[in-house]
Structure 1
């Protein structure tokens, strides 16, 4: 597990482009604006068209050098739609014209700016859309409010009804929901189901050992209740990415998301000033924790490959019987002042409980299947 013995990844296959460094909401749990790193204050609000063009050039260079057949590009923020649709059009067109690979484009948004005309443009450009929704009105508006204090649930759900309509269903990718233990897990899941999402992502709040989450140890139970409701449904209602990835790895596959499994493909974040960052979730850890010291105008993306590896796992993680599945959790959740990332996840007990439960459920079902053949 020594750094010198760990080979750097061969290539980046996902890029996160920050179109705007600010947001029109003021969510009280946001890892970008309410945690340790305040570098966003020093960056331009919007990505400039000229810099966007140079970023696309770097992506094309990386893809050509590694002969990648495909890659994913996520348009992000802040709130990416604050950057304007002309910038979205420019980036989408340039990526598809200049990158010698299949480009899968998507956007993560709070949904409040998803008007009908905006959705028409995103549909025309084949940009998939995922929206943040934390459950019913009370659950959502507890955290996801505008600067004035007004909740965003009404605007977000109106946008989701448009996005889920026949006209735009093709670009609807799913919902992201940050867990709050005050919300009933099954009621939260069923509130999300009202919008017929193709997939749901349940997110653990971004916390560290310096500021552990309230109710540590209870998130696993919360997720188990959702898992049982999802897994036991008589028909498939939606995908739940966390559960699906855990099942996939338990059955011998590889994970496609950060924080599950040991071999997730690395990705890069490009900020509105052109600086190159690691996972921006590290903004919840310490000032500059996500920085690479690189800029698109001074270095190809290959220069960031050596620093793309997550920190080595803690000794207790390496000895765990489920480490192949949880992969130690998100690196940001392992952080503690003084020891850095040399710790298990602050959600270790929760992840273990959830994965062990899913493993037992699968084992029982597989045994039952063998008994019927």
Structure 2
């Protein structure tokens, strides 16, 4: 049974080490550099919830629509030099946007060749693309096979769920073209195509058991679900019961995944939750690693680099974050900016309002952008606090029902 095989009390080596005065700019501090490359700063559709174009940051429209190949070449050398100087063994680059497929399959292939030629002598390199899938065709499948590119496709579920927000600029459905892209890649898997993953933004009106089964029926094995972007200053949301509704959404996904009992299926938020139920992982230990597993940097179409733009919902803070040209600032220079230590310290601290919560060591206050308010910065419980509480209660209940020792749950998280 899955509870015993994957989620239960089977010993798992805890190699996590407490670190002191970790610094991103010090050699041997990072296991993988992840660069999110904004190769296209425009999009061919108009998702109304898009953090990049609808959260108040207008700078993407001030940069070139598409990164010229010279920027890709500069980025490749910047990453290679940085990995060599900081002794980072792994590099990951995700083509992102906007909609990265707008650069065309030929330009994409040329970029992949350049990145591999320059970076792979220094660090292992994995390439990926996050796309809405609308522009993908057989030529793109060929490029993905040729350059071993992982493909993530954004789709919110069947057509009714997807069309709630994911329309083109003329208000038309994008659903069929996104679904077709997934089907095409799944069908081409025997010929070397990557099995696509999916990203779906949650909405409380959807039935997520149905959405889970829809995505699984397409053949997808890696599913990602995102809470909508908002911060603590969304007082109307906080005054409503919607956060608890999102807890139901997450719980439905967990229940569907558990019922399928298929270890090949990976869902990020479930993986992040389940690690806390390993018998020899002490509360909060996963936040004290000897090397940071993944350091995110954003590369932009104009040749500049910036911090993770998933923090845009914290726009008052994000808008003051450093932006540096790759031509004049090395990776080590950039990571030496105090903001990286601020992010690390804040992410590893528990907000004041969470310190008496039974779930504090699992949640840690939630994602930083969802903790932000203009009045108190990141020292707030997540605006989705109610969602996490609902999810964690469901997980504990289901695990105990499946044979996980109840005393281990109560020792870590209190009575059920």
* TM-score exceeds 0.5: yes
SS at match of 1:268: strand
In structure 2, the CA distance between the partners of 1:261 and 1:349, relative to structure 1 (3 Å rule), is farther
Correspondence 1:298 to 2:328:
yes
1:216 corresponding residue in structure 2: 243
1:102, distance to aligned residue in structure 2 (A): 1.0
Paired with 1:166 and 1:84, the residues of 2 have a C-alpha distance of 20
Paired with 1:253 and 1:147, the residues of 2 have a C-alpha distance of 51
Paired with 1:251 and 1:366, the residues of 2 have a C-alpha distance of 10
2:22 corresponding residue in structure 1: 7
Q: Are 2:366 and 2:385, in contact at CA under 8 Å, matched by a contact in 1?
A: yes
Deviations 1:119-165 (A, max 9, x none): 11121111010101101101101110000000100111111110111
1:80, distance to aligned residue in structure 2 (A): 0.6
Correspondence 1:227 to 2:254:
yes
Query: TM-score when scaled to structure 1?
Result: 0.89
Deviations 1:56-108 (A, max 9, x none): 11100111112222221111111011122333223322222222111011110
Correspondence 1:324 to 2:346:
no
Q: Are 2:372 and 2:379, in contact at CA under 8 Å, matched by a contact in 1?
A: yes
Deviations 1:19-63 (A, max 9, x none): 100100100000011112111111110111111111111100111
SS at match of 2:52: coil
1:342 corresponding residue in structure 2: 379
In structure 2, the CA distance between the partners of 1:319 and 1:63, relative to structure 1 (3 Å rule), is farther
1:40 corresponding residue in structure 2: 60
Paired with 2:303 and 2:356, the residues of 1 have a C-alpha distance of 40
1:17, distance to aligned residue in structure 2 (A): 0.8
Paired with 1:155 and 1:265, the residues of 2 have a C-alpha distance of 32
2:227 corresponding residue in structure 1: 204
1:329, distance to aligned residue in structure 2 (A): 1.7
1:367 corresponding residue in structure 2: 405
Paired with 2:256 and 2:171, the residues of 1 have a C-alpha distance of 33
Structure 1 residues 164-175: aligned runs within 5 Å: 164-167=186-189, 170-175=193-198
SS at match of 1:164: helix
- CA RMSD, 1 decimal: 2.5
1:313, distance to aligned residue in structure 2 (A): 3.8
In structure 2, the CA distance between the partners of 1:194 and 1:266, relative to structure 1 (3 Å rule), is same
Q: Are 1:201 and 1:241, in contact at CA under 8 Å, matched by a contact in 2?
A: yes
In structure 2, the CA distance between the partners of 1:189 and 1:127, relative to structure 1 (3 Å rule), is same
1:262 corresponding residue in structure 2: 287
Structure 1 residues 142-221: aligned runs within 5 Å: 142-167=164-189, 170-211=193-234, 213=237, 215-221=242-248
Q: Are 2:185 and 2:196, in contact at CA under 8 Å, matched by a contact in 1?
A: no
Q: Are 1:262 and 1:324, in contact at CA under 8 Å, matched by a contact in 2?
A: no
SS at match of 1:74: strand
1:128 corresponding residue in structure 2: 150
1:261, distance to aligned residue in structure 2 (A): 5.8
In structure 2, the CA distance between the partners of 1:58 and 1:237, relative to structure 1 (3 Å rule), is closer
Paired with 2:333 and 2:355, the residues of 1 have a C-alpha distance of 29
In structure 2, the CA distance between the partners of 1:62 and 1:359, relative to structure 1 (3 Å rule), is farther
Choose from 81, 85, 90 the match for 2:105.
85
Correspondence 1:96 to 2:133:
no
Choose between structure 1 and 2: higher helix proportion.
Answer: 2
Deviations 1:288-321 (A, max 9, x none): 7164232211211122324224235422234444
1:257 corresponding residue in structure 2: none
Q: Are 1:130 and 1:172, in contact at CA under 8 Å, matched by a contact in 2?
A: no
SS at match of 1:142: coil
Paired with 2:261 and 2:328, the residues of 1 have a C-alpha distance of 55
Structure 1 residues 23-34: aligned runs within 5 Å: 23-34=43-54
Deviations 1:181-212 (A, max 9, x none): 11112112122122111210011001112226
The number of aligned residues is 360
Paired with 1:73 and 1:348, the residues of 2 have a C-alpha distance of 32
SS at match of 2:91: strand
In structure 2, the CA distance between the partners of 1:65 and 1:79, relative to structure 1 (3 Å rule), is same
SS at match of 1:21: coil
Structure 1 residues 51-62: aligned runs within 5 Å: 51-62=71-82
Q: Are 1:199 and 1:238, in contact at CA under 8 Å, matched by a contact in 2?
A: yes
Deviations 1:261-310 (A, max 9, x none): 63663211111112222121122221671642322112111223242242
